[in-house]
Structure 1
Amino acid sequence: MAGLKPKFEQTSGHKLDIFFGTTPNLIKEATSGKPFDVGIVPVEMMRDAAARSHFAAGPTVDIAHVGLGVTVRTGAPKPNISTPETFKAALLKAESVASIPESATGYSIAKVFDRLGITEQMKAKMKAQPTPAQVVAVVAKGDAELALFLMNVLTVPGLDVVGPFPADLQQDVVFTAAVGAGTKEAAAAKALVDYLKTPEAISVIKGKGMTPG
C-alpha cells in the first residue's frame, strides 16, 4: 500500500488515510464505531460476524494472496525445509522463532504446527512480536534464529529467505476488499478497490512477492 498510495492519489484525486494492523487490531478498529470507507483485510476478518456487519453486504473482492516462508539473519546457515519432515526437524532444532501468534498469519502457522504434531514443543521457542517490522528486526539483530511469516514481509535487507513452507503445508493468506457499511465516500472507496485490480497495481503487488487476486 505504501507503493500504491501515491499512484492512486495522483490518478484519482482522492487522498488515502491508511490504518495498518494485525487481524485482531483490524477487527477492533472496524467494530470501534470509528468511520471508515474501505477495508483491505485478511479474509479471516470477514469470518468474524461483528466485523463483517460493518462492511457493505455482498461478496468481497480478493486483491492478493501470499504464502508463508522462513528466513534467517543474513549470512546465517539455512536449514533444509524442502519437505515436511526436514521442515519439522528444522523447527525443533531452532532455539528461537519470531512471529505474530495473534494474527491471521499466526493462526495459519499454528495450524502447521498442529499438523506436524509439534504445538507443545514450539511454545517455548516462540518469540511473539507485535508487528511485522518487529518480526524482521529481531531476526536481523540475531535475537531470534528464525522468522516465520508472509514471504513478502521477509524479503528485506538484513534477512536471507530460506524459502516457502513445503507445498503440503503451505497456508496462503488472502487479502480481500470491501466497502465500509457506513461510508460517505462509497464512490472513492470503490475507485480504490477497482484501482487495485488494474495492471499498474498488479505490477506493484507482484513486485512485493504477492500473487494478485
Structure 2
Amino acid sequence: MSQLTILSALTLGAPFAQLEPKWRTLNPDIALDFHWHPSTVIAQQVAAGVAADAIVATIETQAQLESEGFLQADSVTDLVDSPIGFAVLPGVTPPDISTPEAVKQTLLAARSVAWSAGGASGIYFAELLKQLGIDAEVRARGTIIRAGYTAEQLHNGAADIALQQISELLMVPNIQIVGALPAPLQQPVSLAGSVLQTSDNAVAAQRFLHWLQTPEVFAVFSQYGLTKRY
C-alpha cells in the first residue's frame, strides 16, 4: 500500500471525517496521511522542505508557492470557497450579525472575541476591525490564538464569541453557529490543492485532488457551508 502525505488547511478537517472512509473504499491501496495547519504554516513547512505529496491551502498560499517553484506545473486545482462566521455556546442568545453595523455593535459588546492570528480568517478579521474603526477596543479584550480552533476558547471560558471559517468552527463539538458575516463584510477563504515538486507519488496525488472536485465530495463539503470554485 502507498501513502499520500497531505498538508491541508484546517477548513477541510470536519468534512474529511466523512470523506476519508469514502476514499478508502474507492482507493484501498492508497492511504491518506493528513497534517492540519493554517495556510500560513503550510507555506512555511513547504519552504522548509517538509516531505509531502500535496497541499490544500488558500489560493494566496498556492500562488506564493507556485511562484517560488515548489508546485508541479499545472497541478493547481480549484476546490471551494469557505465563508467566515461566528459561534457561541449552546443556549446563548445569538447576537445580531445581520448588518455591518450590527456586527460592529456585537463585537464592541462582547466580553472577548476569539480569532486565530495565523489563519486566513483571522488575518482578514484583523483588517476588518480596522475597517470598522474598532480595532483597539476589540483587540484589547481579544483572545488571539496562534493557530487551531477558535471555538475551543468558548468552552474554556476565554471568549464568548469565536470567529473563524464556519467549517472550522464546526470541528469543535457543542457550539452554536450564529451565522456567516453579512455580505458587505464577507470575504470567503478560497482554497485550492496542488502537487508538490518533491512528491514521490504525483499521479496518485493529482487523482486525489481531482476526486475532491466530484459531486460525491461536494455533497459533503456543502454540509459545512463550502461552495464550489470549479
TM-score (structure 2 length as normaliser): 0.85
RMSD of aligned Cα (Å):
1.9
- 8 Å contact from structure 1 (residues 69, 163) kept in 2: yes
Does structure 2 retain, via aligned residues, the 8 Å contact 1:38–1:179? Answer: yes
Shift of 1:59: 6.2
1:24 Cα deviation from its structure 2 partner: 2.3
Contact 1:31 1:50 in 2 (8 A): no
Gaps of 5+ in 2: 1-15
Match of 1:71 among 87, 97, 104: 87
Contact 1:110 1:119 (C-alpha < 8 Å) held by counterparts:
yes
Alpha-carbon spacing, 1:109–1:17, altered in 2? closer, same or farther (3 Å): same
Which residue of structure 2 lines up, in the alignment, with residue 118 of structure 1? 134
**Distance in structure 1 (CA, Å) of the matches to 2:39 and 2:206:** 22
Give the gaps of 5 or more residues in structure 1. Answer: none
Residue 188 to residue 59, structure 1, CA distance change in 2 (3 Å): closer
Contact residue 110 and residue 161 of structure 2 kept, 8 A: yes
Aligned length: 212
8 Å CA contact 1:27, 1:51 repeated in 2:
no
1:144 paired to 2:164: no
Closer, same or farther: CA 160–51 of 1 in aligned 2, 3 Å: farther
- Give the percent of matched residue pairs that are identical in Structure 1 and Structure 2: 28
CA separation in 1, counterparts of 2:85 and 2:195?
Answer: 30
Tell me, yes or no, if structure 1 residue 158 matches structure 2 residue 209. Answer: no
* SS of equivalent to 1:17: strand
- Residue correspondence of structure 1 range 87-106 to structure 2 within 5 A: 87-106=103-122
Range that drifts further, 56-65 or 162-171: 56-65
TM-score by length of 1: 0.91
Structure with larger RCO (C-alpha < 8 A, sep 6+):
1
Structure 1 or 2: more strand by fraction: 2
